[in-house]
Structure 1
C-alpha cells in the first residue's frame, strides 16, 4: 500500500498535461496541481508543520483549495476541513479538538479563530524540497467529523493506507479511469467528498467541482452534468430524486450514497446506465460495500469493496449468524479507521481487535442473503441520514437541552422531516427562538425543520420516550 498523494504524484508523472480538476473559472492539470501542492507543502514546513501535525483547511471548494488540501499531505501532515459555512462555534470546537496551530485559508483578513495561525493558500515558497518518495502508509491522512451523541462532534482518524485502498477499490467497482469526468458535489467536510476527490485523482481522471449555484436545484445540476460532460456522479437518493434523468447521454454510471436508496431511484436512474448503491460509515473510509443494481432489483448493500471484510453478528453473543438471520454488521479490513480523536472510551466501544484484525461496529442491522449479498434492515440507535449526512439525533437533543427554556426534548425523523419535540420550561418559549439558538451551533442539515411544543413527552412501557408515538403525532399534525 502507499500514501494517497504518492498515487496522485505518479499520475502527474505519467500524464502531466491531463486535466486533474476543473472549477467554475479555473482548471489545473496534474502537473500544475502537484506543483502547487508541493509549494504549499514547503510553506507549511517553513511555518512549523511537521509529520502527522493536523493542519486546518478553510476555503470554499476550488482547484486552488484542492492544491492546499494536497499540500498538507505533501508536507506529511493530516488535514481537517473547516467548512467556512459552518457556525464559528463548531469550527472553533474542531480546531480545539485537533489542537490546530496552522490553517490554510483563502482570506486571512477574515479569519475568525485567533488561536490558529492562518496561512493564505496563495504565496511563494523560498525553496521547494525534493519530493519524499518514502511511503508512510500508516500515517494519518485526515480527520473527518461526524455527529456525536454527547452533543459534540467526534473526529474520525483515517490513515493513508485506508484512503489508498478505498480509492483503488471504488475506481475498480465504479469503472473510473483516466478518461472519466467525475462530479464533485458534497462539502469537503463529508466523506462522500473524500471518496469523490481521491478516487478520481488516484485513477488519473478529471474531478469536476459543481458550482455552488447549481447544488440547490435538480434541474440546474442536471444541466451542469450535461454541460460539463460528466461521466460518473455519486449523489444522495434525495438529490437524484430532484433531477431530471433524461438527456444525459455521457453519464454512464451513477452511485447512490449517503442514505438508503429506494427502488424508485433505481428505476429512474438505472435503465440506460450502470447504477450502484454505495454503503460505508465514515469509520470504514467512505465505502464498505457496493451493489450493482438494475431496475426491478431488490435494493441491497451488495458485497464488500476490495480490501474490506464484513460479518453479521448476534447482538447478544457477538458470534456470526447464519445467512438469512438479522444481526449487526461489522466491517473489517484495511479501510477501518484508527478510532476517534481524543475519545479512547468510545474508540474501545466501537472498534474491536480480534486476532490482529480491527473491526468496526456499524450499529446497522442487516442480514446476509444466501447469495452472499448484504440486505439492510435498520439502525440499532437513533443515528439517521438527513439530507445525505449522518446525524445523531442525540446530538441535536443535547444542544437543545442547553437552552434555558427547554425542560425535555426529543428529536425524530419522519418521512424526511426533522422535528424537535420540546416540553418548554416556561410559557414564553417559542419555536422560532429555539431554531435560532440551534442555528448558532449546528450545521444547517442538523437544524430541525420545525419544533413541536408539547406538555409532556409520551413514554413507552419501559419508561423511555416513545419515539414511535412522537413520529405518529408529527405525521398527523
Structure 2
C-alpha cells in the first residue's frame, strides 16, 4: 500500500471501532477519520497540491489528523517547534512559503488560518512532510521528505525492528522532532494504536512510568538523554517493552542499564534526511554497539573523500546512505547543501557528514561528525547558527560556541565565548538568544573575552578554545 490515507481507509474497512489512540487522548479509527474529513474540508480552497501546511500543534493525535488531511489534499505538512520563539516560528513559516497554519485551539480542536505567502520556487513534488533542522549558514534549513520516502521507511520499519499487526507505540516526541513521524504513522500502517501521554512524561518519571505500565506499548522510542534521565529518576523499566534508542550515540554504560529494564533494546541510526532511521541493531548484553543492519531497501555505506566504498577492517570514513527513505533535499538550498544529495532516475543518495569505523566483523561504529554539527539531548545543533545569532547582537564582534564534555552525556553542554564592544552583560546575551533560538541551542555557560585564540593561519583555534572552556579557564 503506497498511500498514507490508504492506511486509514484499510483500517476503517477492517474495524472502524478499533482504537487509533489511547491514553491522554482516546480516539477510534472512525473518530480519527471524521476529524480528518472535517479538517480537509476546512483546508480546501486554501491549499493546492504541492503546497506546505504548517502545524502549530502540540497533540500527537491532532498532528496525525492534520498530516492526513494535508496528505489528502496533496500538500506537505510542516510541524512547527511550539517551544521556539515566535520570531523563529514566523521565519520558518515564511521560508517554507506555507499557505496555511493549522493552530491547536483546544484538546481536540483545530483552526486553520491562511497566511499571505509568495509561491515557492519549488512546487514540491510528491509532498510528504518538511522538518526544519539547524543549518550551517546561520539559519535553519527545511528538509523535504517526499511521501514515497515516508511510505518506504514505514514499510521497512514494520519489518526491522518490526511492529506487529495491531501493535502500539508511545507517542511522546514533539512534532517538530522527526522521531514523531514514526510515532504518528507507524501504528497507523500496522493497524495499531498510538499511546498518547502528557508532555510532562518527557521529564517526569512518574508520568512516563504510569503511561508505560497502564497502556503497555510495544515500543518506546527516545534519545539516550531521555532514558538516562528516567533511570536517574528511578525508572525500573518494563520487561515487555522494546526500546528504540537513537538520535545520539548510545554508550555501553547506558545500554547495560537499559538491558535490565526492557524486553529488547535497539540502537537506531539515521539523520532527518533519511526519514528518521536508516539502520537498526538489536543489542544483546555485552555486545559491542554498532549501527547494525540496514533497513529494507536502504544501504548504509562507508566512503572516502572520493566516494569510494571502504570495506577493510579498521577503515574510517563518512557514512553515505542510499536507496529507500532518502529526502528530496532542502528548501531554498545553497550549492553546498545541495551537493550532499545525489539523485538520479535510478538512485538516491545522501552524504551524512557522520564518521564511522568498520569493525573486524564488518559492522560500522559511529565515531563523530565531520563538521560543526553536534547533538544536544538528541537535537541537531549547528554551532555556526548559534554563533551567527550571537554575532547579530549589536555589542558582539565575534563569537564561538563549542560542545563541552562530549564524552559525558550527563554533563555535556554548549559553552559560548564572545568578544564585545563593552557594556553588555551575560544575562543580556542569554535573553537575546532565548528570543531567537530553541532551548537545545542555548549555551549553558558564557565567557566574555578581549580576544579569541587563533591558529598560525589566523583561524579560530577551536581545539584550544574547547580545551580551555572545558577546563573552566579564561581565554584572555
TM over 0.5: yes
User: Matched residue pairs, number?
Assistant: 454
| 1:354, distance to aligned residue in structure 2 (A) | 5.9
CA contact (8 A) 2:280 2:294 kept: yes
Partner of 1:127: none
Deviations 1:193-236 (A, max 9, x none): 11221122211221112212222223432233223323310111
Q: Distance in 2 between matches of 1:138 and 1:77?
A: 9
Deviations 1:265-321 (A, max 9, x none): 110112451101111111111111111112211111112111211221112x22122
Tell me which moved more, 389-398 or 346-355: 346-355
CA contact (8 A) 2:50 2:125 kept: no
Q: Distance in 2 between matches of 1:104 and 1:363?
A: 34
Distance 1:169 1:334, change over 3 A: same
Deviations 1:2-31 (A, max 9, x none): 12222233223223222112352x311122
Q: Distance in 2 between matches of 1:333 and 1:361?
A: 12
Q: Distance in 1 between matches of 2:341 and 2:104?
A: 37
CA contact (8 A) 2:75 2:127 kept: yes
Q: Distance in 2 between matches of 1:174 and 1:110?
A: 34
CA contact (8 A) 1:291 1:301 kept: yes
Q: Distance in 1 between matches of 2:457 and 2:345?
A: 38
Distance 1:111 1:446, change over 3 A: farther
Extract structure 1 runs of 4+ deviating beyond 6 A. Answer: 108-114
Secondary structure of 2:156's counterpart equals helix
CA contact (8 A) 1:219 1:242 kept: no
| 1:249, distance to aligned residue in structure 2 (A) | 3.4
Could you list the runs of 5+ residues in structure 2 that have no partner in the other structure? 118-123, 406-411
- Equivalent residues in 2 for 1:295-306 (5 A)? 295-306=285-296
Q: Distance in 2 between matches of 1:71 and 1:59?
A: 14
Match of 2:168 among 181, 190, 212: 181
Distance 1:175 1:114, change over 3 A: closer
CA contact (8 A) 2:418 2:448 kept: yes
Secondary structure of 1:361's counterpart equals strand
Q: Distance in 1 between matches of 2:130 and 2:175?
A: 11
| 1:102, distance to aligned residue in structure 2 (A) | 1.3
CA contact (8 A) 1:92 1:113 kept: no
Match of 2:50 among 30, 49, 52: 52
**1:419 correspondence with 2:418:** no
| 1:38, distance to aligned residue in structure 2 (A) | 2.3
Match of 1:457 among 452, 458, 468: 452
**1:307 correspondence with 2:303:** no
**1:268 correspondence with 2:257:** yes
CA contact (8 A) 2:172 2:201 kept: no
Task: Give the alignment's TM-score, normalised by structure 2.
Answer: 0.89
Partner of 1:441: 436
- Equivalent residues in 2 for 1:323-472 (5 A)? 323-324=312-313, 325-343=315-333, 345-353=335-343, 356-415=346-405, 416-426=412-422, 428-472=423-467
Cα-Cα RMSD:
2.4
CA contact (8 A) 2:60 2:171 kept: no
Task: Give the alignment's TM-score, normalised by structure 1.
Answer: 0.89
Q: Distance in 1 between matches of 2:197 and 2:251?
A: 24
